[in-house]
Structure 1
């Protein structure tokens, strides 16, 4: 007895519709200081992303932020990519390294929550994060925390080094620069017998910027210019002429 074929309606429901390939945005980022770093450079990131795309059979669309740090998510290409993902114009945000995307656990955790709520995924190759899975979401939070800890440790080491230099008497920051005519004016007015406050008030009234670009002079800032190395040859010249 030959088998009975199921009705056409049942046969239709048993067909499997092929799943469309995800629309993947491959994000690249370097800060200005990292441009020459071969390990973090754009070419290295692009090679890693393309290799993963070839493995998964994905077609990539690259989005790139060059010259931006990862201190926050306020970067032009990333902002545009997130807007497209949230609008369901793409399905996956792919990055070669987690720190290319964010070094803040607060920002990255918020991004993961947003991705989950909106229905798209984050994939970070270096740490094996794929937020389409529960384990991947957990790993995303852990690795972002490690990245932020590393950033804070670097910042603390920098602050400690600066404090040690300051304690040793090293002058920190960019040295103030004043036009020679302003230095000469202060020297000449002081040697003519004017008080520091009178000199400061006259500079402020004439709209002369301070060494750091401020609008208001004080007696101490005028005195500091007079005692500076830049004023030394002018003072000596005036002494000789006197």
Structure 2
């Protein structure tokens, strides 16, 4: 990583439980990232944090959103103490790394010693992607098998999937929701983000299955359920 000026963006996160049980404080994470920057002659052009926030949802973390934006804009290196600080989900972690890669940026995780500026670091992430896809396919297979079994017995799925209504212990097609589902699938094929699809549904007064507003996670769930049927 020597030979040219390096720009880096630090990102740190901690939840109350992490800080109490593991002692991975924000100050400790910051100190380790600063030490890495010094050792690698890197200039820290930004430092962002999310304090007391879970790592389960990216869109709820302002610090992470800003860190990603700056890193991609400057084609810099995002440095985190560990991948768990970035996300609790392997899938989300891979998606974030891919977003950085497409922007010409990189990722360094100190605890796992992952550095996507190197061929070895890229290989590790490719392996993670393969394992994540394998796990996802296994879950899909198990779910599809269970749904087929219930369908053969004319039993309703639980919870009731979008596009259907529950009548006793049987599912019947909901024509209105089926049309909405087709619209969601078409929007996704066109490349719209889950957030944009959710916003469009809300703007048009289309309610989610529970009668509330749409969130990106609800759109993802509907699409995944549709794929498995």
Where does 1:66-215 land on structure 2 (aligned, <5 Å)?
66-74=51-59, 75-88=61-74, 91-140=76-125, 142=127
Query: Mind listing any 5+ residue stretches in structure 1 that lack a counterpart?
Result: 1-17, 150-242
Q: Against the structure 1 CA distance between its residues 140 and 54, is the aligned structure 2 distance closer, same or farther, given a 3 Å change threshold?
A: same
Specify the structure having the higher radius of gyration (Cα): 1
TM-score between both structures, scaled by the size of structure 1: 0.48
Counterpart check, 1:24 vs 2:21: no
* Counterpart for residue 161 of structure 2: none
Question: In 1, Cα distance between the equivalents of 2:127 and 2:29?
Answer: 22
Q: CA deviation at 1:19?
A: 5.8
- Aligned residues between the structures: 129
- From the two aligned structures, give the one with the greater strand fraction: 2
Contact 1:70 1:100 survives alignment (8 Å): yes
Give CA-to-partner distance per residue, 1:119-169, whole Å, 9 cap, x none. Answer: 0000001111111123202323556869xx9xxxxxxxxxxxxxxxxxxxx
Question: In 1, Cα distance between the equivalents of 2:110 and 2:50?
Answer: 18
Question: In 1, Cα distance between the equivalents of 2:19 and 2:77?
Answer: 26
Query: Mind listing any 5+ residue stretches in structure 2 that lack a counterpart?
Result: 136-229
Question: In 2, Cα distance between the equivalents of 1:99 and 1:143?
Answer: 14
Q: Against the structure 1 CA distance between its residues 133 and 20, is the aligned structure 2 distance closer, same or farther, given a 3 Å change threshold?
A: closer
Question: In 1, Cα distance between the equivalents of 2:58 and 2:32?
Answer: 22
Contact 1:112 1:137 survives alignment (8 Å): no
* Counterpart for residue 55 of structure 1: 39
Contact 1:122 1:131 survives alignment (8 Å): yes
